[in-house]
Chains A and B, each alone.
Chain A
Amino acid sequence: MATVRLEHITKKFGETTAVDDISLTVNDGEFVVLLGPSGCGKTTTLRIVSGLEVQSEGHVYIGDRVVDNVEPKDRNVAMVFQSYALYPHLKIYDNIAFGLKARHVPRAEIIKKVNETAKMLQIHQLLDRKPAALSGGQRQRVALARALVRDPEVFLLDEPLSNLDAKLRAATRIEIKNLHLRLRKTMVYVTHDQVEAMTLADKIAVINQGKLLQFASPMEVFMKPAHRFVGDFVGYPSMNMLGGELEETAAGTFFFTPAIRMKASGAQAGKYILGIRPEDIVVSKSSSKGSLECTVRGLERTGSDNYLFLDYSEGGIVASVTGPDYSAGEKVYVTFDPANAHFFDAVTGAAVPLSASI
């Protein structure tokens, strides 16, 4: 067991900067998810921890050890690849035993460990087969078993569920969570799926364009996004973003968009973006004080939640509603509690501590 510490990690491929000055610490036994869109540098970050990629700048620590110049084989980490990367020419048993054999573990111990791990993941009946004869879900388990059997200090998982179908993905997600609760190993998990991140992580590191935007617990990431991108990326449907200006008037400080006006304080006058989650929007069929008139463009039904797509004078808004009785073209009136509003700097995207009231 070990902590993983990244200190000012930067990785450049030629002219492009894949990872831009990322620093974070994964505590012993913690499950940290690196979350971000594809190409954001999260996989590169994981590969830097594994040693498959060497950072251009900065230092990587595993435990108390600087591992900058340590080969992957000597870092005592295990990795689950997105493609599973099972050795196609070897039987499942030998796939799982590969790392133990490479480390010259005695034969009797290998047999024991492989069998134990295979039983734990319920793949012991597959040990004689080759990877090609396995289903996607089974291969995924073998890839997990191959990592688990080595009992490494740190587990690195690179989008391990992305090749599974939705149902299996949900089931395996729970299994991975349970494995972590049972083993209490340090795990770093890369995904672009915010549901995986929210359900699995002790802490989420949201990365975009190589930069670490927020590193916090899932609830904090959701409730207090530190950056406009985080608010936009985490949560479905995405947070509504309304551009406006903070102005000081004789009557006090107000946040204006052409359609909305609210009292606000806590920041200098300037351009800001108001973020409001679809579920914080209250839709009513009758107008009330300060409500925003919208036209229904469409309703997306998902069963439990329905998403209402609305047009207003400045653009579009998505609201989460319970009832299905809306029809296109209908006029509705939208309000929200200013306490639920998030504010971001229009230029940098960083969250600003504006507090608003009606």
Chain B
Amino acid sequence: MKLPSFFGSRRKRLKSRIVSRILSHFALIVATLFALFPIYFIFWTSILKIQLAAISLSSLIPNLALITLYNYNYVLSDPTFFTIYLKNSLIFGLSAAGVGLVLALFTGYALSRFTFPGRKPFIYFIIALMQFPGTMLVIPYFFMFKELNLINTYLGLIIPYSAGSIVFTGILVKNYIDSIPEDLEEAALVDGETKTGAFTKVIIPLIKPILGLGVLLAFIGPYTDFILARAFITGNSLQTLALRLYSVSSISSSGGAAIDYGVFSAFSFLMGIPILIIYLIFQKYIISGLTLGGVKG
């Protein structure tokens, strides 16, 4: 190849790289705005003096004169926000995440490492299960749990919530363990570890990133669930944030029910904080997962 044409093609390549970079940045920015807008909208509505109904496009522009903390004050001044709703949501979310994760860990490991009859069909069965909407289960669950006297109990919700997270997280864990060479476990076995030791000292540290993601997903589901909670919770003491979000922002007026979007937005925003905290706690595992390099030379 002649030198000039080589440089020429390099310049051309550079140009096309810049163009593709501009295009991809543009697409990413649009996507980010698209994702961020609802959050901005909710936040702005939550601190807005006027009701959403009165909002015009221009009122989306930040304006100090329109800001109030009234909605937050309204939500937080009611102590039951913490003593009932937040407490219950955390109990459901954390216990479902905990129980679901431990079971998903064993499920995922078994599906990845053990060979047993019917393993493949079982995996497909689990994947097929994920395609069905959870709503489908509400009624059968209700009748089943009513027989077991589990309606309106913590256990009655923790069981279906945990079960729900095993399926998805189990597959996540399985796929992640598939990518870890068996050599590592075998090296630990020859090095003097038991099978359990190899699992806890080699596999678990290596799958922390996926466990972090699993905890997050297994928490968000129950924490934000409305449908199952609505069906299973009849008394006041077990009410969750998601249920309260509905009741707190409904205004009864002579004309029928309406929604107070200011309160709704403030409540939603506060409800998101625990999710953010859990994300921040497990974020470092997700990052540490990225620094795990290849093993081969």
Residues of A with Cβ closer than 8 Å to B? 50-52, 71-73, 75, 77-79, 81-89, 98-99, 102-103, 130-133, 135-137, 139-140, 146, 150, 156, 163-164
Chain B: CB-nearest residue to A137: B297
Chain B: CB-nearest residue to A140: B297
User: A102 to B190, Cβ gap below 8 A?
Assistant: no
User: B189 to A132, Cβ gap below 8 A?
Assistant: no
Segment touching A, from B100-108, B135-143, B286-294: B286-294
Bound state CA distance, A56 and B39, in angstroms?
A: 63
A88-B293, A89-B206, A130-B293 are known contacts. Are A102 and B193 too (CB-CB below 8 A)? yes
Chain B: CB-nearest residue to A75: B190
A83-B183, A85-B186, A89-B206 are known contacts. Are A146 and B191 too (CB-CB below 8 A)? yes
Chain B: CB-nearest residue to A162: B297
Chain B residues with CB under 8 A of A52: 186, 189-190
User: B183 to A81, Cβ gap below 8 A?
Assistant: yes
B80 in the interface (beta carbon within 8 A): no
Interface residue SS majority, chain B: helix
17 CB-based A-B contacts, threshold 8 Å: A72-B189, A73-B189, A73-B191, A73-B193, A75-B190, A79-B186, A81-B183, A83-B181, A84-B297, A86-B295, A87-B187, A98-B191, A102-B193, A103-B192, A132-B292, A136-B296, A150-B191
Give the interface size bracket for B toward A: 20 to 34
Q: Which of B151-178 contact A (CB under 8 A)?
A: none
Chain B: CB-nearest residue to A86: B295
Chain B residues with CB under 8 A of A50: 190
User: B297 to A164, Cβ gap below 8 A?
Assistant: yes
Bound state CA distance, A133 and B187, in angstroms?
A: 20
Which of B189, B192, B297 lies in contact with A135, CB distance below 8 A? B297
Q: How far is the CB of B151 from chain A (nearest CB, A)?
A: 45
Chain A residues with CB under 8 A of B183: 81-83, 85
User: A131 to B295, Cβ gap below 8 A?
Assistant: yes
B188 in the interface (beta carbon within 8 A): yes
User: A79 to B206, Cβ gap below 8 A?
Assistant: no
User: A85 to B295, Cβ gap below 8 A?
Assistant: yes
B51 in the interface (beta carbon within 8 A): no
Q: How far is the CB of B294 from chain A (nearest CB, A)?
A: 7
A71-B189, A88-B206 are known contacts. Are A133 and B296 too (CB-CB below 8 A)? no
Bound state CA distance, A150 and B193, in angstroms?
A: 13
User: B191 to A99, Cβ gap below 8 A?
Assistant: yes
Bound state CA distance, A137 and B296, in angstroms?
A: 11
User: A132 to B184, Cβ gap below 8 A?
Assistant: no
User: B292 to A88, Cβ gap below 8 A?
Assistant: yes
